[in-house]
Chain A
C-alpha cells in the first residue's frame, strides 16, 4: 500500500515577489523538512503544471527541478489543465505500484498573476477545443453554459449557486494559506459583476500563484518512522471529450462519475464513509455538479441541498466539503490545486487542520477536474 507521509504548501495568492520556481523550491523544501528526508532519499519527482510553457516560455521543468534538488533522478511533468496536480499524483501512485521501496515527491505549482487577466484567460483557453476558442468561449463561459442549462432544467436561480461561495469563503477564513480569508454573503455574491452569465465574480475561483507538495512512499520502514501517515486507498484518472458539445449531458461531468465509481469500488468503502471531501469548485456550479456526479447527492438535487449548507464546517452534516476554502477561497494556482486538495485531506486525517478540523475522520476524498470535464481525478485517502 502506498502512503502519504507529508504535505507542505506555500501561501496561495498574488505572490509578485516570487517566481514559479521560487514557489516550487519553497514547497519542496517544506515537505522534505517536515518528513526529515534528504534530497538523496527521493527516487522520482512528478510535477503538475499547466501554463509555464504557454505564458512564460518556460519548459523542460524536470531539469529545472533537478537543479533545485541537486539530483539526477527521473522527473516528469504532468499536464492535464486544472487537473495537472491530480494527474501528477496519479502518475506518482502508478509509479510506486510498479516500484517497491521508493519515495516519490509530487509537486504542483502555477504562476498566474504576472500577466494581465486577458493574457492568463487566453492561456487557460488553450485547454479547450479549437472550436470553443474560436467562438470566444472562455472557461467561465463553458461553466456558464453548464450553469445556465442546470438552473433552467432543474428550476433553480443564481441564488442557489451563491451558497457554494458563501460556504467556501467561510472555510477560507479558517485557512491561513488561503488566497481569500474574508467571509461573504449571498447578497455579496449576487451583486458582484458577471464574468460569464449566469456566473459572477464571486461564483468564480481567482487567478492565483502557489505551489504544494506531498511525499508518497511504499517504503515500510520509512512509514513506521513517520509521525503522520495516511494510506492512498484509490486514485483514478478518467478522460472524456475535450468539447462540452460532444458530451451526452451538459449538466454532468461523466469523467467525474466514472472516476468516482471506479475509486469507490477499489477502495471497498461507500460514499457514507467519506467525512471530508475537497471537490473541484472552479465555479460555484462545478461544486454542485461534483457533489452529484461523485454520488453524494442525487442529480438535480444539488441546488436545493447546497441551500441547506449541511456541508459547511460547524453544521450537522455528515460530510464537510472544501474545508481548505476550495478553489474559490483558497485560490486556484491550477497546477498546485490537485496537490493542495489531497494535502488538505491529509491534514484532516492526521488531525492537523487546526481551526477547520473535522472530528472522527477516517476517510477523505479529493476531486480534481481538468478543463470543462475532459479529465477528472478522484483520490481516496484513509487512516
Chain B
C-alpha cells in the first residue's frame, strides 16, 4: 500500500529532476504490470542518463516506436504515475517524452 504521506514526501525530490534533458541508455516495454499500472499497459520504461550523468528511470510517453532506441534524446516531465490510492491521492512523478 502506498501511503499518501509517502507520495507527499516524494514530491520534494521530483521537482528537482523536472525539465531535464538526457539520453536513453536502455529500454524495455512492460506487457504484464503490477496492479497499480495495469491500465497503462503496455508501456515502455527507459533508463535515462541526464546531461549531468545522473541516471533516472521513467516511463516514455508521447513516443513513436522509432524513439525506442539507445541514444534517443528525451526530457523529463510531470505525469500521473500510478492508479490513485484508496484515499484518492493522485501520485505524480517523472516520465519522459522524446525531444
Give chain A nearest CB distance to B71 CB in angstroms: 11
- Hey, which chain B residues are within 8 Å of A142, CB to CB? 28
A121 touches B57 (CB 8 A): no
**Could you tell me if B31 and A193 are in contact, using CB atoms closer than 8 angstroms?**
yes
B28 touches A144 (CB 8 A): yes
Residues of B within 8 A of A196 (CB): 28-32
Interchain CB contact under 8 A, A149 and B26: yes
Q: A138-B33, A197-B28 are in contact. Are A118 and B38 (CB under 8 A)?
A: yes
Contact check, B81 vs A134: say whether CB atoms are below 8 A apart.
Answer: yes
Give CA–CA (A195, B33) in the complex, Å: 9
Residues B27 and A148 in contact, CB atoms below 8 Å apart: yes
A337 to B27, CA, bound (A): 28
Task: Determine whether the beta carbon of A145 is less than 8 Å from that of B34.
Answer: no
List, in ascending order, chain A residues with CB within 8 A of B70's CB: 152
Among B27, B42, B56, max chain A CB count under 10 A is at B27
Chain A residues with Cβ below 8 Å from B43 are: 136
Instruction: Please give the distance in Å from B78's CB to the nearest CB on chain A.
Output: 13
Number of interface residues of A (CB under 8 A): 33
In the complex with contacts A145-B27, A194-B29, A250-B26, A137-B57 CB distance below 8 A: yes
The answer to the question of B47 belonging to the interface, with a C-beta cut-off of 8 Å to chain A, is yes
Indicate if B63 sits at the interface (CB-CB under 8 A): no
Please, what's the 1-or-0 string for B4-29, where 1 marks a CB less than 8 Å from any CB in chain A? 00000010000000000000011111
Q: Counting CB contacts under 8 A, is A119 at the interface?
A: yes
B4 to chain A, nearest CB (A): 15
B58 within 8 A of A: yes
A144-183: which residues lie under 8 A (CB-CB) from chain B? 144-145, 148-149, 152
Question: B52 at interface (Cβ–Cβ under 8 A)?
Answer: no
User: Hey, what's the 0/1 contact readout for B40-64 against A, CB within 8 Å counting as 1?
Assistant: 1011010100000001111100000
Residue B82, interface by CB 8 Å: yes
A104 to B55, CA, bound (A): 44
8 A Cβ contacts from A92-131 to B: 116-119, 121-122, 125, 131
Cβ contacts B83-97/A at 8 Å (1 or 0 each): 000000001011000
Asked if B47 contacts A145 (CB within 8 A), the reply is: yes
Complex alpha-carbon distance, A296 and B59, angstroms: 36
Residues of B within 8 A of A193 (CB): 31
Taking a contact as CB atoms under 8 Å apart, the answer to whether A134 and B82 are in contact is yes
Within the complex, the shortest CB–CB distance from A78 to chain B, in Å, comes to 24
Please give the distance in Å from B73's CB to the nearest CB on chain A.
18
Per a CB cutoff under 8 Å, which of B25, B45, B55 touches A136? B45
Cβ contacts A to B, 11 pairs, < 8 Å: A122-B34, A134-B57, A135-B57, A136-B37, A138-B32, A140-B30, A141-B45, A194-B29, A196-B28, A196-B30, A196-B31
With A135-B57, A144-B30 known, 11 other A-B pairs at CB within 8 A are: A118-B38, A134-B57, A134-B93, A136-B30, A138-B34, A145-B27, A152-B26, A195-B32, A244-B47, A245-B57, A250-B26
Query: 10 closest pairs, A vs B, by CB?
Result: A144-B28, A122-B34, A135-B57, A197-B29, A136-B37, A118-B35, A245-B55, A149-B26, A121-B34, A194-B31
